[in-house]
Structure 1
Amino acid sequence: MFDRYLIIDDHPLYCDALRLALEGINPKAQVNAVTTATDAHVYLDKGGLPEMVILDLMLPDTDGLNGFLALKKRLPDETKMVVISGREEPSIVRALQSAGADAFIGKSLAMDEMIRKLRRVMWGEVIFPNFDHADAETQRQSKLIDGLSPAQVRILAALADGRLNKQIAYDLELAEATVKSHLTAIYKKLGVSNRTQAILVARQIMPKE
């Protein structure tokens, strides 16, 4: 059972409900809640070390997958990263799964069902929706995401954000030559021949606000 949680969600009532639910699981739990990604980074700067982060994908100061990646980069591998969002499109879920999230839980679920899923994550399960019956376009986008490595997902997200190779290399702590090598592989996997085409595809399949 985990003792330290960080909730990042800009809806205070939802944070309060989730906090009470987590304290119901473990009365000794230390549940910190913030409403922006900036505040989450301040919390980490001050030495906060949550065992589980519960992140709303749509925050006022971040842009979907890049916000998730910036937080994950700062946390130990053993910290569980759970995304809870009203954006439940398969392409978003697949991108987060490829980027290393431990679970995606739609906000459409009732709180008791959500808590059951969080318990399963605490026990070591990886929880994601099943999209086997999605439409053809959704399945096509999901296959594109599934074909990318976690590093390539991070680079594609940065590409969709309009960043240059030097910026991507700096942000992800990679050599610029490594970024170029990944981009070549990404173009091939996406079935495109240049950066502009890759950006157009990325903006279709990458989670954004």
Structure 2
Amino acid sequence: MSAPAAPVRLLVVDDHPVVRDGIVGMVASDPGVEVVGEASDGAEAVRLARVLLPDVVLMDLRMRGMDGVAAIRELTRLGLPSRVVVLTTFDGDSDVLPAIEAGATGYLLKDAPREDLLRAIRAAAAGDAVLAPSVASRLVGRVRTPEANLLSPRELEILALVADGATNRAAGERLHLSEATVKTHLLSIYAKLGVGDRAAAVAEGFRRGLLDL
């Protein structure tokens, strides 16, 4: 009989103590999740993540001091193994895209049911990208405007590596990103190009002149 899987080690980051307590209360009762730390801003989150090495960081975006995007960018720069899932009340392009570009593995809204939150934490720990339905719809909706078809510099880098045959892991190692972050970028690329898989994305990239022959 195999031993039970170790619980997902979680760091909760939010600048409102009441909200933070609520999140901890929601997830701590699940035996599959262990809350190993709490932080009230991005700088504290980075300090704790370096010491605790959590599997997943549940990150608010708009905080006093260092905000969530800056913290995600710093965690990515440091090459920590922790995967970041944004948990916020904001789902506008100006919030979603910078967070994913900075290296977030997933993006959820604070009105998500408890089971969705726990499912997202487990998925992120396993290396899977997680997007709230409204966020995924927003990315797909960007395809409808001409400017949305232009990929970000990071997305172009990933698409070029995929076109060269790189796996998600290899692309992540090349760009110093986690495999899950590469998957999240690919979801955004698919949405912007209106395709459903890697091969179609590469073909569409060549067709649109985004990739060089």
- Same fold per superposition (TM over 0.5): yes
Name the residue aligned to 1:56.
60
Q: How does 1:4-43 map to 2 (within 5 A)?
A: 4-26=9-31, 29-43=34-48
**Structure 2 residue ranges without an equivalent (≥5):** 1-5, 158-213
**Structure 1 residue ranges without an equivalent (≥5):** 153-209
Q: How does 1:198-209 map to 2 (within 5 A)?
A: none
Percent sequence identity is: 20
Count of residues paired in the alignment: 147
Name the residue aligned to 1:79.
82
| Structure 1 residues 56 and 65: CA distance shift in structure 2, 3 A | same
| Structure 1 residues 20 and 85: CA distance shift in structure 2, 3 A | same
Question: For the residues of structure 2 that align with 1:74 and 1:125, how far apart are their CA atoms?
Answer: 21
Structure with the greater relative contact order (CA < 8 A, sep ≥ 6): 1 or 2?
A: 1
CA contact (8 A) 2:36 2:52 kept: no
Name the residue aligned to 2:191.
none
Question: For the residues of structure 2 that align with 1:135 and 1:28, how far apart are their CA atoms?
Answer: 37
Kindly state the Cα deviation for residue 87 of structure 1 after the two structures are TM-superposed.
Answer: 1.7
Question: For the residues of structure 2 that align with 1:70 and 1:55, how far apart are their CA atoms?
Answer: 13
CA contact (8 A) 2:14 2:39 kept: yes
Name the residue aligned to 1:175.
none
Kindly state the Cα deviation for residue 108 of structure 1 after the two structures are TM-superposed.
Answer: 3.0
Kindly state the Cα deviation for residue 44 of structure 1 after the two structures are TM-superposed.
Answer: 4.3
Question: For the residues of structure 2 that align with 1:149 and 1:19, how far apart are their CA atoms?
Answer: 33
Cα root mean square deviation, aligned: 3.0
- The alignment's TM-score, normalised by the length of structure 2, stands at 0.57
Name the residue aligned to 1:133.
141
| Structure 1 residues 122 and 48: CA distance shift in structure 2, 3 A | closer
Greater mean deviation of Cα atoms: 79-88 or 1-10: 1-10
Structure 1, residues 140-179: CA drift from partner, whole Å, max 9, x if none? 3x545x3321799xxxxxxxxxxxxxxxxxxxxxxxxxxx
CA contact (8 A) 2:11 2:36 kept: yes
